[in-house]
Amino acid sequence: MHGSLTLSILTLVLLNILSLTPLCSKAQNGDKTLSLQKALETASANYGLVKAKDLYTSAQKEEVKQVKREMIPSLKLHEQLDYTTANSVVGSYFPYGIVVPVSGGIGSANNYTPVYGSIGMAYMEWVPFSFGQYKARVDEAKIALNLFSADAEQERFYNQIYVTQAYLDALVATRLKILQQKNLERNIIVQTVVRSTARSGLKPGVDTSFVNAEVARAHLNVLEAEKNEAEQRKNLAELMGIVSSNFQLDTAVFFLQLPSSPLTTPADVSTNPILKVYQARENLSAAREKEIFRNYFPKISILGVVSGRGSGILYNGKYDDSFSDGVGMSRFNYGAGLACTFNILDYPSMRASLQAERYRTAAAKTELEEKTLDLGNDLSLANEKLRISLEQMKQVPIQYQSATDFYNQKMSMYQNGLTTIIDLSQALYDLSRAEADNAIARDAVWKALLYKVSVTGDFSVFLKNVPQK
């Protein structure tokens, strides 16, 4: 009997050693292991929303260039060939979207003989003085670029948080699956011992039935753990923008070590990317206020024109139906001017638009203040979660060691007929629970640190706490 006990204990030790082998082999197989850094790089390159935000930012950069180029003078070239009549009367009119001749001889009756004509023109307009309108538009475009950039930065930051969260979820799912496999192996050892003692008549046959049920339950737990692991791997693969979830995770780093300096994480929310987005929204609304106000001011333009005119009606009033004579330029003019455009009656409309934008600016400022307050409260909670997680981590090794000793004791007592299969099964369950609590507690420390980083906004702090192999 003592030989059977020694064999069981040696088998248990061997299984514990073998259960750690996959962790070591995965850590050494650098080519196949998906590290957290690699997962983050893959997600950044593949995740569609991140790429979309970057494209919006690039588009706004071009908008800034376009607005800056509004300062370039406008130069329009115009060439027109006509085949029209040329009846006219003395008088003035308001243009109303109809074609009317702007010049022509005045006759006693309508003459419906059409002739060829042409006009060519080079027209230049430049607005060198706009009382700040141009600068206001440029400033607004630049601040809009800041908003798009901040939005892209925020999306990239939270993608890092979500990928890391999914990575840790997949890690703990893998670890719990390994622990369930260990539990199944221990149950099989107990089953072997019980069957041996039952055949020799030292234990009742009902113990065999009981232990068979425990093995079946342990097997079901392994299958459930495998299903959960598959789901977590799928979630990680989706965030990484890949199809296959057949990758090895770096379990050695996160389950053999804790964060190097979790309590020294900076406690400041001002660098959180989402606050930059809210601040950019407020700044953009304030810039629009300025642009609306400046647009009411006059525009001073410098004008220049060079034109040529051809007509099939000769200077003496005779009609020439020749195409070449009609479209050939026969008169030329040039001109330069200074224009001032000021829509005085636009003031009520401008004032209403300005007031509406001021309300939007005030709303954006209020949202910024509210979000800052929320993040401050989140930071207090994050600090408390991290503190509690570290305290819990101090207790789980004690629980695990006690459960291991208790299980070994109950195993020895059962083999010597000093306890029942029920007590041994409870000890086995307590050991399995202690192993799971240890894995979950380690995962909780990393996730508490991740939560604090998501509040403070500096993801590099999390990476600095990850031990380097």
pLDDT of residue 263: 64
pLDDT grade, residue 106 (50/70/90)? low
Most confident of 113-127, 140-154, 253-267: 140-154
> Does residue 187 carry a pLDDT above 80?
yes
pLDDT of residue 333: 86
What is the mean pLDDT of the segment spanning 352-370?
A: 96
Answer whether 467's CB lies under 8 Å from 257's CB: yes
Phi, psi (deg, nearest 5) at residue 327: -90, -10
DSSP structural state of residue 70: G
| High-pLDDT (> 70) share of the chain, % | 86
Whether 104 has a pLDDT exceeding 50, the answer reads yes
For CA atoms 345, 351, 352, 353, the dihedral sign is positive
Per residue in 334-344, pLDDT tens? Answer: 888 888 888 88
Query: Would you state the pLDDT for residue 418?
Result: 85
How far apart are alpha carbons 393 and 398 in whole angstroms?
A: 10
Residue 229 pLDDT > 90: yes
Q: Note every long-range contact of 25-29, with CB atoms under 8 Å and residues 24 or more positions apart, other chains counting.
A: 26/248, 26/249, 26/250, 26/251, 26/252, 27/250, 27/251, 27/252, 27/253, 27/469, 29/248
Confidence of residue 8 (pLDDT cuts 50, 70, 90): very low
Q: Which two tokens stand for residue 205?
A: 């046959």
Closest CA to 365 of 10, 373, 148, 242: 373
Residue 225 is predicted with a pLDDT of 96
Give residue 60's pLDDT: 94
Number of Cβ within a 10 Å radius of residue 390: 18
Interstrand relation of 299-311 and 74-84 (parallel, antiparallel or unpaired): unpaired
Could you tell me the two tokens for 304? 């220049």
The answer to whether residue 2 scores a pLDDT higher than 50 is no
Q: Pick the range with the lowest mean pLDDT from 149-153, 165-169, 190-194, 386-390.
A: 190-194
Q: 74-97: per-residue pLDDT in tens?
A: 888 888 888 877 776 666 555 544
pLDDT band at 203 (very low <50, low <70, confident <90, very high): low
Whether the per-residue pLDDT at 19 is higher than 60: the answer is no
Residue 116: pLDDT above 60? Answer: yes
What is 2-66+137-284+352-465's CATH superfamily? Outer membrane efflux proteins (OEP) (1.20.1600.10)
Segments making up each domain of the chain, as ranges:
2-66+137-284+352-465, 74-129+299-341
- Predicted pLDDT of residue 438: 92
Structure tokens at 331: 């008169």
**Closest C-alpha to 12, from 469, 444, 405, 448:** 405
Residue predicted with more confidence, 16 or 52: 52
pLDDT tens, residue by residue, 240-287? 888 877 888 887 778 778 887 766 666 688 889 999 999 999 999 999
Tell whether the model's pLDDT for residue 27 goes beyond 50: no
* β-pairing verdict for 74-84 and 115-129: antiparallel
Mean pLDDT to the nearest integer, 29-58:
84
State the pLDDT at residue 25: 38
Confidence of residue 201 (pLDDT cuts 50, 70, 90): low
